[in-house]
Amino acid sequence: MQAVAVRDREAGVEGLFLTDIPHPHAAENDVIVRVHAAGFTRGELDWPGTWSDRAGRDRTPSVPGHEVSGVVAELGFGTTGLSVGQRVFGLTDWTRNGSLAEYTAVEARNLAPLPADIDHTTAAALPISGLTAWQALFDHARLAAGQTLLVHGAAGGVGSLAVQLGREAGARVIGTGRADDRDAVLGLGAEAFWDLGSDRLEDAGEVDVVLDVIGGEIGDRSAALVRAGGTLVTVAGPPTARPKDGRAVFFVVEPDRARLAELAQRVRDGRLRPIIGSVRPLAETPEAFARRVRVLGRTIIQVGLAHIHVRQD
């Protein structure tokens, strides 16, 4: 089967190549998914799990991509709760071959049924971004109605969903980003927008929750904005600055079938809309990883042969 793989860690995105690899084996409690659409994170070529398995052994050539939407093609021994032919979406394991392939093996518990009225491209944009936004706001920061939420990178995959989820929860949402993102972020429901290139972040005032996907200086400066009892939650790395009278939390997103189902229901109801900026075929994955021109929204890779290729950048 065809897949996009990496072998040389030093080569970075230049080391991505389209190749043929063996069909995956379904271990106990696994399913084999025929991939229709896949999402990826550009930084994942720096993740240890891309190069080593859980025991620390080299596993190259490895297949990146950890967001998948497709159809169950095969069930491993002992797998329950899903059936062959069922539409599913979810997260692949960090230390196993991922979704940028025609087929991938996934633990059944990491997948959720995909309703028939959600297309695979939309579904592939939900798992990492949607679960990260939800877990950041509600599991770690305990965001509540009436609070003020500041979302960095509010036009990005995680940020755009966090803006929508925060607004639905009854929070006042402030988004940050580049000047070109202003209209998109306000259109998602943010009450205010801060241009990180020209506006003083400190003028945003005190907030109850900061969701930081940027890190570095922005993350450090954001700590001072958190009012007493509030939370700075980040996925950019362990925080180097902490709120004076609040908490700072760093976390890595975890699979959650029940939450994926809730996110899917919000999409069906029109309460949540992932932003899809570019849709590319599997052969163009290396180019998509190395993209030089910024495109608003997620880049999704279409893999299933039944899909029509739509390129939007």
Asked if 211 and 159 touch (Cβ cutoff 8 Å), the reply is yes
Contacts of 275 (CB under 8 A, 6+ apart): 125, 155, 157, 160, 184, 296, 297, 298
Q: Is the dihedral of CA 158, 160, 163, 165 positive or negative?
A: negative
Cβ neighbors of 304 (< 8 A, separation 6 or more) are 34, 35, 36, 37, 70, 120
Q: State the Cα–Cα distance between residues 307 and 120, nearest whole angstrom.
A: 9
Distance linking the first and last C-alpha atoms of the chain = 27
pLDDT tens digits, residue range 124-134? 999 999 999 99
Output the pLDDT for position 296.
Answer: 80
What percentage of the chain exceeds 70 in pLDDT?
96
According to the model, what pLDDT value does residue 293 have?
Answer: 65
Q: How far apart are CA 174 and CA 210, in angstroms?
A: 9
pTM of the model: 0.93
Mean pLDDT of the chain: 94
pLDDT (tens digit per residue) in 258-289: 999 999 999 999 999 999 999 999 999 999 98
What is the structure's pLDDT at 304? 74
The pLDDT, as a whole number, for residue 65 is 97
The alpha carbon torsion through 266, 250, 241, 171 (nearest 10 deg) reads 20
Positions in the chain whose pLDDT score sits under 50: 306-313
Are 149 and 205 in contact by the 8 Å Cβ rule? The answer is: no
Give the torsion sign (CA, 64, 25, 52, 66).
positive
